Amino acid sequence: MRVVIVGAGEVGSSIAASLAESHDVVVVDVDSERVERLTYEHDVLTVEGDGASLDTLRAADVSKADIVIASTDDDETNLAICGTVKTASGAFTIARVQNRAYLETWRHSQGVFGVDFMVCTDLLTAQSIVRIVGLPTARDVDPFAGGRVQMAEFEVTEGSPLAGQTVQEADRFDALTFAAVIRGDDVEIARGDTAIDAGDKVVVIGRPGSVEAFAAAVVPEGGADEVGNVVIVGGSSVGELTGRLLSERGFVPRLIEQDPERARELAETLSKTTVLEHDATDAEFLEREHVGEAGLLVAALDSDERNLLVSLLAKRLGVNRTVAIVDNPAYVDLFEAVGVDVAINPREVTAEEITRFTRERRMENVAIVEPGAAEVLEVEIDEESALAGRSIREAVADLPDGVVVGAITRNGEFVTPRGDTVVQVGDHVVAFVREDALDAVTATL
């Protein structure tokens, strides 16, 4: 497949990197340095120029493209690119935007602006945060099959009832499959005798209710206090959207914003959120407002450094878990290493979302569990699939090692996959796949 990516910033580069191996990728950017660097880093074709101009797009041979991804940092440019592409090509267009108003317009009338698929960075980020809030112990949660299946990653901490058990012992949940145990960089496919130790991360796939029950079981005794008490620091767009999504789910979050005008604006738009106007790095203020009693704190300030500071401060005051927005992807690991529970990079989230659209058509949904280590795929089974009409035990024998069938939905109903479950054409299969098995699995499923 031929994919044209316009905008070689972090999002564009990240998408290019993950697609370069299996597709023909063309990257367009106005910045000659970036273009040059990409040429050497990845096996992609680069074109220098303004992606919103027809000439540049022609130079990138856009008429032959299957997918065009507009991922510059400017919303309007991205929309203009998609509109321009439509005049010269039948390619599927994907636009990345930050302003949620465009997303709402697009949802209202799909295909508007010449955009076939739109991703909103801030909304995606907020959604990731909210999913994590919903499962107090999860590090990552992704919905599949229209929300009927969830994939979640948990960290097994010291004192968790799961620590020291084997998968078989831990497997007492209906409609839940253990996919993998991740130890350091090592992804181990879960077998009955796989041991779960403190410090490991566990990936499970199952019905949302079961995942919730599992989430509760992972927590050490007495550790599951009120997640209801959520504090958001920073009234950025992500902070605002997080507040909105949380209040839509019945939470009454508190949001701290320093700028009086922005604080007032947020207080007006977020009717169910208590907005506090103050500097969130003021420890005395945090103490006075009993922020330490919060179950979760989301740091969504404009600067990574301040987000780190606030998160650590909150931890010291006693906040159970902290989620920090990190703009610089290089900091993600660092943040988690020094004590921030979850670090989220909006561009990474966006790249992930766009990547799943550029996979083979049959792939409905993709979640990247650990970048470069494992993915979770959702596939609709057709007649050519290796799974069609066979039991899972038989089929898996033909597949490479690193794959687990985590869940099946049939006509919208959840089916727990067991060895003798026979997969039918039309079923949606959610599978955990280790990176090394990815190509083989996508080819046969």
Partner 1 sequence: MSATLRVDWRASVSLTGRVVKWLTVPMLFPLALALFYGRGLKAILPAIAIAFVVGWGLERLHSDPAAALGAREGFLMVALTWLLISVVGALPYIFEGSLTAYGATSTLRLPVNALFETMSGFTTTGSTVMGDISFETHSRALMMWRQETQWLGGMGIVVLAVAILPELSVGGAQLMDAEAPGPGIQKLTPRIAETARALWGMYIGLTVLEIVGLYGFHQLGMAPEMTLYNAVAHGFTTMPTGGFSPEARSIEAFTAVVQWFIIPFMVAAGTNFALFWHVWNRDFNVVWDDIEFKTYLGAIGVLTAITTGLLFTTPGFDMLTNALEPSLRHATFQIASIVTTTGYASMDFNNWGQHAKYVLLFAMFIGGSAGSTGGGIKIIRWVVILKTLRRELFTAVHPEAVRPVRLGSTVIDEDAIRGIYAFTLLYLVIFAFGTLVVLLVGVPGQELSAFEATSAVAATLGNVGPGVGIVGPMNSFLPFPRASKLLMVFFMWVGRLEIFPVLVLLTHAYWRS
Least distance to partner 1 from the beta carbon of 259, Å? Answer: 11
Q: Is 264 in the site for partner 1 (CB under 8 A)?
A: yes
Structure tokens at 179: 């996919």
Cβ–Cβ under 8 Å, residues 255 and 235: yes
Q: Which part of the chain contacts partner 1 (CB under 8 A), choosing from 38-46, 264-272, 314-322, 437-445?
A: 264-272
Least distance to partner 1 from the beta carbon of 239, Å? Answer: 14
Q: Is 289 in the site for partner 1 (CB under 8 A)?
A: yes
Per-residue mark of binding to partner 1, 224-263 (x: CB under 8 A)? --------------------------------x---x--x
- CA 242 to CA 238: how far, in whole Å? 6
Q: Is 266 in the site for partner 1 (CB under 8 A)?
A: yes
Q: Is 268 in the site for partner 1 (CB under 8 A)?
A: yes
Q: Which of 126, 129, 125, 75 is nearest to 105 (CA)?
A: 75
Which of 88, 267, 283, 440 binds partner 1 (CB under 8 A)? It is 267
- CA 103 to CA 119: how far, in whole Å? 7
| Residue 247 or 444 having the CB closest to partner 1 | 247
Least distance to partner 1 from the beta carbon of 41, Å? Answer: 46
Q: Is 275 in the site for partner 1 (CB under 8 A)?
A: yes
Least distance to partner 1 from the beta carbon of 267, Å? Answer: 4
236-240 long-range contacts, CB within 8 A, separation 24+: 236/122, 236/300, 236/301, 236/302, 236/325, 237/98, 237/100, 237/122, 238/122, 238/125, 238/126, 238/129, 238/300, 238/325, 238/346, 239/298, 239/300, 239/301, 240/266, 240/269, 240/270
Q: Is 277 in the site for partner 1 (CB under 8 A)?
A: yes
Hey, which bits of 261-418 come out as E strands? 274-277, 296-299, 321-325, 342-344, 363-370, 374-380, 403-410, 413-415
Q: Is 300 in the site for partner 1 (CB under 8 A)?
A: no
Please say whether the dihedral angle defined by the alpha carbons of residues 57, 59, 63 and 69, taken in this order, is positive or negative.
negative
Q: Which part of the chain contacts partner 1 (CB under 8 A), choosing from 123-131, 151-159, 236-244, 272-280?
A: 272-280
Which of 105, 157, 194, 274 binds partner 1 (CB under 8 A)? It is 274
Residues that bind partner 1 (CB under 8 A): 256, 260, 263-264, 266-268, 271, 274-278, 285, 289
